[in-house]
Amino acid sequence: MGFSSPVTPSCSYSFTFNALSCDAVSKTKTRICTSTSFECPPIHKTGFASQRERRESSNLHIFASVASPDFSLNESVGKVQLPKGETWSIHKFGGTCVGSSQRIQNVAEIITKDESERKLVVVSAMSKVTDMMYDLVYKAQTRDDSYMSALEAVFEKHKLTALELLGGDDLATGHAAESFSDFVVGHGELWSAQMLSSLIRKNGLDCNWMDTRDVLVVNPAGSDQVDPDYLESEQRLDKWFSKNPSKTIVATGFIASTPQNIPTTLKRDGSDFSAAIMGALFRARQVTIWTDVNGVYSADPRKVSEAVILKTLSYQEAWEMVTLRTLLISVKVAKACSLTFLNGVYMYVQSYFGANVLHPRTIIPVMRYDIPIVIRNIFNLSAPGTKICRPSVIESEDGQILESHVKGFATIDNLALVNVEGTGMAGVPGTASAIFGAVKDVGANVIMISQASSEHSVCFAVPEKEVNAVAKALKSRFRQALDAGRLSQVAVIPNCSILAAVGQKMASTPGVSATLFNALAKASINVRAIAQGCSEYNITVVVKREDCIRALKAVHSRFYLSRTTIAMGIIGPGLIGATLLDQLRDQIATLKEKFNIDLRVLGITGSRTMLLSDTSIDLSRWREVQEKKGENADLEKFVQHVHGNHFIPNTVVVDCTADSNVASHYYDWLRKGIHVITPNKKANSGPLDRYLKLRALQRQSYTHYFYEATVGAGLPIISTLQGLLETGDKILQIEGIFSGTLSYIFNNFTDTRAFSEVVTEAKKAGYTEPDPRDDLSGKDVARKPRRKT
C-alpha cells in the first residue's frame, strides 16, 4: 500500500507521553483506512522507560484525532479585523535554524528583537525530522518492526528539546491530524511551531501559534505541485485571526489543506513557499528567509573561490537561478541524498551552491504584491544577505548609472546531449511534438533544447542516466523515418555539462554574449550547444564535463573581475629559468594585489628531474623541494599535469631552454589552448614553414605566443616594431648591435686578457647562449631578423 494521495481514515489515534513514566500507550490497537485495509501493529511500552529519571517535574501530552476542522464561512467574523500591510514582517526559519533547543532560543531572540509592529514566523520541522517521519511511515508500511525505534527517536528528540526550553503548563500541547501520512509528516512543523510560540510567550511577547492547515487552502496541480487558493485562504485567515488576535504569530510551514479539508503538503522544501504565501495574504512589508548561508552567490563557492554574495537580485533573475539549481527526481521507494521517498514523485530542491537557498515557487506570491524577499544567515547576523526585489539601478560616485548585466552562473553536471537530425525534419509540422512526446513517454526530464532555424536538427540535454532510454524510444518512434533516410541519425553525446549565465538585461545589452563566448574561447572551451530565450534572462551553453569548472571560472573571472588565475609550467630551471622563478617569487604578491593576477607555478622541469604540485609550488624553496621530491622528467606528463588542472582556466608554458626538441612541441601546445612564452630562438629560426604554421595558428586561436625575450635582452623591441607596422608605418632600415654577447666580448677583449677568459666571463654573466659557439659563429645573429618581421 502506498500513500501517494491523501486518504481520510475512519479511526482515531491518541498518544499520551508522560515525562515521568515515559510510557507510550496506543489507545487504538488497530487502524482501518477507508481506501484499503491496513493494520498498524500495536504500540507497546518501549525503551522510553530507560529515560524515567531524566525529568521528574513535567508532563508532555501530544494528542491526535481525525476530527476535521469545521469551517463555516457563513458565520459572522468577530469584531477583531486582520490588519494587513507593511506593519507585518514575515520570517521563515528552516530546519537547521530550529535544529536544537539552543537554536530555537536564538530564533526566539531574533523575533523578540525585531522591531516590526507585527510579525508572522513560519517554521520548518527540526533538522532531519521530516526525513525521520518518512522513514517511520515507510517502515510501518513495509511491516518493518523497527518503526517502533524510529517512533521513539522522533518523540525523544522533541520531548528532550521541549523539556530544555519550557516548563510547567507550556508543555501541554495538542493538535489534530486527519490522514495517517500527513499525521506523520506534518507533525515536525506542528511541534516546532508550538515550542517556539511557547518560548516567545515565555520571553514576554504576545504570541499565538497557527496550524496552517486551518488557513492555507491549495489545489493539486499535477507534477507533484499544488496551487494556492488565495481567495479561500484569505477568508480562512480572517476567520482565524478574529479568534486568535496577536501581534506575533508562529505558523507551521510545509502543511496545508485541500478545499475538502484533507491535509496535504506544499511538497519538499515547501516552508519557503508557505512563507511567501503568508507574505502575500498579509500584504507584508518583507519576507525574510533565514537559512545557513550568507545569501545567494554569484557562483558555487566550492568551484569558484572568488564567488561573491549578490546584494540584490530581481524576481526574474532569482527565478532563473533557483530553477537552474532545482533537480527533479522521480522514484518509487529509494534513498537519495539522505532522504527516504515514498511511492510517488517528490521534488528535491538542490542548490548548486551547496545549500538549499530558496524553493522555486517562493517568488510567485510575493512578486504579485512587490514584496521583497531577503535571504539571511542565522549563524552570521552581521551578513546583510541577498535582497530579491524589483530591479533597480546602481549609481557610481559621479552619478553615472551602473548596471550589472550578468548576476550569476550555475552549472549542471552528468548530462548527455541527444541530437536528432535529418533533411526530412525541415518544414514538417509535428516533428518536435513527436520527439518530445517520446521523451515524455519514458519519463525523462529535458533540461534544455536547441534548434537551428534550418530545422535540420534538434538537440536537447537530459540526465545521463536517462539518455539510453530516450535514445531507444526515439529510434523506435522514428524507425520508419530512419530507414527511409528522412532522418539521418539519433546521436547521443555523453559526458556533458551545462553552464548558464543569468542576468535580466543580457540580451538587450550589446556585447554581453560576445564577452561570454570570448571568455570561453580564451580558455579553449568548445561549446557544443547554445540556448537563449527572448526573456533576456538566461544564456545556456553545453560543454564537455571535464571543461565545466574551467569554463565556469573563466566566465566568472571575466564578468566579476575576480583574479585571473594562471597555471604556469617552467621548462629549464637553469640560469634563465632560475632567475625567472626568483623574479616570480618576488612579484607574485604584487601581481595579485595590483594586477589581479593569481599566478600559480604547478610544475618545474629540467632535462632529468621535474617537480609537480596540484596547487602551487613554494617558490621560496623550490630548489630544496625539487631535490627532495623531484621525479624523473617526462615532458608529456609535465604538460598534462599543468594543463589538466580543470580548476584553472588559463595555462602558460614558459620554455627557458635552447632545446629544439622542446620548441617542436609549441604547435601542439598552442592547438590545445596552452599559451607559450619563450626566449628559445629555435622555433623561430628553424624551417620557415614551421614558423609560418605557428604564427598562423596563433592568429586563428585565442592563444598567445610571446617571444619578446629572444631579442633585445627582454626590451620591447618586437612589440614596438609590430605596433609601428600595424599603424601604417613603413620600416626602411634597422640599425643596432644584434649580439649583446659579441658586443660585451669585443668591449672587454684587450691585450692584457685572453679571448677565452672574456668568453667564459660573458657566459657566467648570462650574456651568451647556453653554447657560446652559437654567438661566436654568427648563428644567433642570423636567427634574429625573422623575429622582427
d(CA 45, CA 768): 93
Q: Are 171 and 164 within 8 A, CB to CB?
A: no
End-to-end CA distance of the chain: 82
Q: Say which DSSP state 70 is in.
A: -
Q: Are 526 and 424 within 8 A, CB to CB?
A: no
Contacts 24+ apart (CB under 8 A), 666-671: 666/694, 666/705, 667/693, 667/694, 667/697, 669/639, 670/694, 670/697, 670/698, 670/701, 670/703, 670/705, 671/697, 671/701
d(CA 785, CA 733): 12
Nearest to 202 by CA among 101, 289, 79, 116: 101
d(CA 466, CA 462): 7
Nearest to 95 by CA among 378, 326, 384, 362: 378
d(CA 575, CA 775): 17
d(CA 323, CA 412): 11
C-alpha cell at 235: 477568508
User: DSSP 3-state assignment of 47?
Assistant: helix
Q: Is 505 left (phi over 0), alpha (psi -120 to 50) or beta?
A: alpha
Instruction: List, in sequence order, every residue forming a beta bridge with 564; answer none if it has no partner.
Output: 597
Instruction: List, in sequence order, every residue forming a beta bridge with 168; answer none if it has no partner.
Output: none
784 is a catalytic site residue? yes
Three-class SS of 405-434:
CCCEEEEEEEEEEEEEECHHHCCCCCHHHH
Q: Is 712 left (phi over 0), alpha (psi -120 to 50) or beta?
A: left
> How far apart, in Å, are the Cα atoms of 313 and each of 86, 194, 419, 779?
21, 34, 35, 63
Q: Are 718 and 690 within 8 A, CB to CB?
A: no
d(CA 451, CA 421): 10
Three-class SS of 264-311:
EECCCCCHHHHHHHHHHHHCCCEEEEEECCCCCECCCCCCCCCCCECC
Nearest to 623 by CA among 573, 580, 576, 585: 573
Three-class SS of 310-355:
CCEEEHHHHHHHHHHCEEEEEECCEEECCEEECCEEEEEECCCCCC
Q: Say which DSSP state 14 is in.
A: B
d(CA 566, CA 602): 10
* DSSP letters for 104-116: HHHHHHHHHH---
- From the list 247, 303, 784, 788, the catalytic residue is 784
List alpha helices for 68-114, DSSP H: 101-113
Which helix H or strand E contains 725, and what residues bound it? helix 717-726
CB-based contacts of 32, cutoff 8 Å, min separation 6: 9, 10, 11, 38, 39
d(CA 154, CA 157): 5
Q: Are 500 and 407 within 8 A, CB to CB?
A: no
Among all residues, which ones are annotated catalytic? 784
